[in-house]
Structure 1
Amino acid sequence: MPTPIKMPALSPTMEEGTLAKWLVKPGDKVEAGDIMAEIETDKATMEFEAVDEGTIASIAVDEGSEGVKVGTVIAMLAEEGEDLDEAAAAAPEGDGEVAEPTSADAGSDKESGVPAKAGTANEAAQQKATPASAGVTNGAKAPAAPKDDSGERIIASPLARRIAEQKGIDLASVTGSGPRGRIVKADVEGLEAGAAPAKAEASAPAASAPPKPATLGGELDAPYEATKLNNVRKVIARRLTEAKQTIPHIYLTVDVRLDALLDLRKQLNASLEADGVKLSVNDLLIKALARALQRVPACNVSFQGDELYQYSREDISVAVAAPSGLITPIIRDAGKKGLAQISTEMKELATKAKDNKLQPQEYQGGTASLSNLGMFGTKQFDAVINPPQAMILAVGAGEQRPHVIDGALGVATVMSATGSFDHRAIDGADGARFMEAFQQLCENPMGLVV
């Protein structure tokens, strides 16, 4: 019998995702382990593998569809010898309520560039209010997929097919406004039996056409282009808003002389050249942050309501700018790792982050964070804490500045570093001791190699 393929949970916290890309199409044969789709979670784009062999009978959720709940049937898989049309029309055996996903590829209004209402949350809400499992309503199968006069299958959502059957509407006469001409609830809910809207020229999917400039009224009367937020940007917005609204931040800044650290880096790179290892300044700062947490364990904590978690390991989250948004891969147990190992791991993680290939265990967790904008010339900044962590260290560019050296005014390479601390978990004095420890480790860097 046909096997429903459901939206997987690709991380412990995933509740919904975006079906970014299908790598198979109806009629394709797949075997266990074959990559069928790319799914965008709240942190990365991950590959979805087949667990059974068979032939793809139908695609229920178009690529680009957002807000697809975990457990939603996204495709049907036919076993060997099964009729593909019958498998495509078969009702899945899901046991949960699923909503019609919204789609980033929905058609757009030609005049305004605003996405059409087809496949919107209103349709999803109605499907959720009426228990449905990808075409199953109160135990009854959804109408089989209809075909037009030429025998071609008409693409329509289960809800649209159900409404059309109840009203006696011929779907062959309806123009779909959903992705790839899919007929959705909005196309049929206002029609009566025998009625059909005038055929309109199909508009290109919004994702394949360049965004159209518009004018924003009111005080901000300027041209703009609207870009739909991806899942990563939505999570960043939600978590950082939560952080600034709920976490009382305290900021402490120190100036750090980097000359000794830069000299040590030069010596280490000369000795590691034969091993193909080249340390960056950031690698040494990761180690310095971890060692400072070892010296001041009161800052390696997190606030958990009525409890304070004290961590015995320094897992350092490092901010990386990825195409989909900011992500923080983690160097686990950084306090006990050598600089060469930290450098190798960080390069691998940064490459994965930029390719959207990080696995959940590579970015979830962390006990403290490091954000470095020095490569952009930023002198100093205050970073927002990444909950549930209780601190983040923001470092700026090392630059030549006047500095008092051994009682005399001279010129030194100086970097400003600012720690953001959750004042519910970390007292100002402990934060100051941490910043002092970090400063001393950078200015006396032999403590990073022992």
Structure 2
Amino acid sequence: MNVQQSANLIRSLSSAAVQSSSSSKLCGPAVKLLILQYGLEERDITGSGPKKNVLKSDLLELIKKESLSPIKVKSASSGSTDVDKNVKKKVVKEYKLRHFEDVPLTTIRSTIAKRLSQSKQQIPHEYQAADVRIDKILAFRKKMKTDGVVFSLNDLIVKAAALALRAVPEINVRYENEKVVFLPSVDVSVAVATPTGLITPIIKNADVFGVQTISNKIKELSNRARENKLQLHEFQGGSFTISNLGMYGSVTNFTAIINPPQCAILTIGGSRTEVMKTEEGLETQKLMGVTLCFDGRAIEGTKARDFLLHFSNSLADPDLLIAEPLSPALDFDFSRLL
């Protein structure tokens, strides 16, 4: 069969498939192919599917019962021919079945896969989750936006986590050479999706910067990360990681894998509205689900709880988060409120 004959045959089969759609009711590509092969397009076949649709098993049973054989399909220019394997492949392609393609991993994705696999195998992961109330912080952000000061909820989350890390230094640690190393600075890594894979630019000394400065730094580092222009010291290291999928709306809560030698990662889910009962009656509250994933060798469960408590309290105090300190010495140590 030449190319022109194959093309004519494909058009013939496609036309027959369209004509058979009403007689075969609801059916998939495999069923349509059997209908064409055995010339059943004019038959009124009763389907056993959930919507009376014809299943492949229905046709196979009919073919066996009536001892049917594949028919010969006539092409436009060459009499008749059997539907061979090559034609079947073209028909499948014509029906637009799912196509699979092997895509090799980039170097960065391959490295991420190896490191995270090792982390999950070697580090005892523990998890603590909490619902954080964010009504006040959202209202505050909206008010600041009307005043011309723009920053995201994620910027506020980074600031709140940095304050919590300073208040609970037992979380701001690394695990190296079977020892827990306390870090002198709070360097928060923020997960950013890029075309080549996930990368975590670092906001160094995040606890001593105000939200506006943090916002500017995140934007600048994220843009350069997507352009593959970050230097090694800008994404390697850090003392703590934040991964925020809540901004996409469809993720309510999730867990993550620790990026060693760091000992913890905070995941941020989406927000939801709930109704609560108070002395004045019913009132709504906006809650955000967060999960702290931490290394059980280096961090105690009670310290993880303290961190989440401080993180929640930080987000509940907008005035504290927006403060832009002149120097670390003048910055207020929120840990004294615990």
- Give the shorter-chain TM-score range: 0.5 to 0.7
1:315–1:406 distance in 2 versus 1, CA, 3 Å: farther
Alpha-carbon RMSD across the aligned residues, in angstroms, is 1.8
Structure 1 unaligned blocks of 5 or more: 1-212, 214-221
Percent sequence identity over matched residues?
Answer: 41
* CA offsets 1:175-202 (integer angstroms, 9 cap, x no match): xxxxxxxxxxxxxxxxxxxxxxxxxxxx
Q: Report the Cα distance in structure 2 between the residues aligned to 1:398 and 1:294, rounded to whole angstroms.
A: 26
Specify the alignment match of 1:387 in structure 2. 260
* SS of structure 2 residue aligned to 1:394: strand
2:103 pairs, out of 227, 249, 253, with: 227
Structure 1 position 374 matched with structure 2 position 246? yes
Residue 410 of structure 1 pairs with residue 283 of structure 2: yes
- The corresponding residue for 2:145 is 269
Q: Which residue of 2 aligns with 1:288?
A: 160
Say which of 166, 174, 197 aligns to 1:302.
174
| 1:166 paired residue number | none
One-letter code aligned to 1:246: Q
Aligned position for 1:260: 136
Deviation string 1:107-144 (CA, Å, 9 cap, x unpaired) is: xxxxxxxxxxxxxxxxxxxxxxxxxxxxxxxxxxxxxx
Measured in 1, the distance between the counterparts of 2:236 and 2:146 equals 34
Q: Which residue of 1 aligns with 2:302?
A: 429
TM-score by length of 1: 0.48
Instruction: Say which structure is richer in strand.
Output: 1
> Which residue matches 1:399?
272
SS in 1 for 2:129: strand
Matched, 1:445 2:293: no
Give distance in 1, aligned partners of 2:279 and 2:181. Answer: 41
Q: Aligned equivalents of 1:242 and 1:234: distance in 2?
A: 13
Q: Does 1 or 2 have the higher relative contact order (CA < 8 Å, sep 6+)?
A: 2
2:193 to 312, 316, 321: 321
TM-aligned CA distance change 1:407 to 1:397, over 3 Å: farther
More helix by percentage: 2
Q: TM-score, normalised by structure 2?
A: 0.64
- Preserved contact between residue 174 and residue 262 of structure 2 (Cα < 8 Å): yes
In the alignment, what sits opposite 1:19? none
Distance 2:279 2:264 in 1: 32
2:124 to 248, 251, 254: 248
- 2:183 maps to 311
The residue matched to 1:426 in structure 2 has which SS? Answer: coil
Q: Using the alignment, how far apart are the partners of 1:404 and 1:351 within structure 2?
A: 44
CA deviation profile, 1:25-68 (whole Å, cap 9, x unmatched): xxxxxxxxxxxxxxxxxxxxxxxxxxxxxxxxxxxxxxxxxxxx
Q: Which runs of 5+ in 2 are unaligned?
A: 1-88, 90-97, 324-338
| Secondary structure class of the residue paired with 1:397 | strand
User: How far has the Cα of 1:402 moved from its partner?
Assistant: 2.5
Rg larger in 1 or in 2? Answer: 2
For residues 286 and 298 of structure 2, the distance between their equivalents in structure 1, rounded to whole angstroms, comes to 33
Task: Provide the C-alpha distance between the structure 2 equivalents of 1:424 and 1:406, rounded to a whole number of angstroms.
Answer: 44
Please state whether the residue corresponding to 1:424 is helix, strand or coil: coil
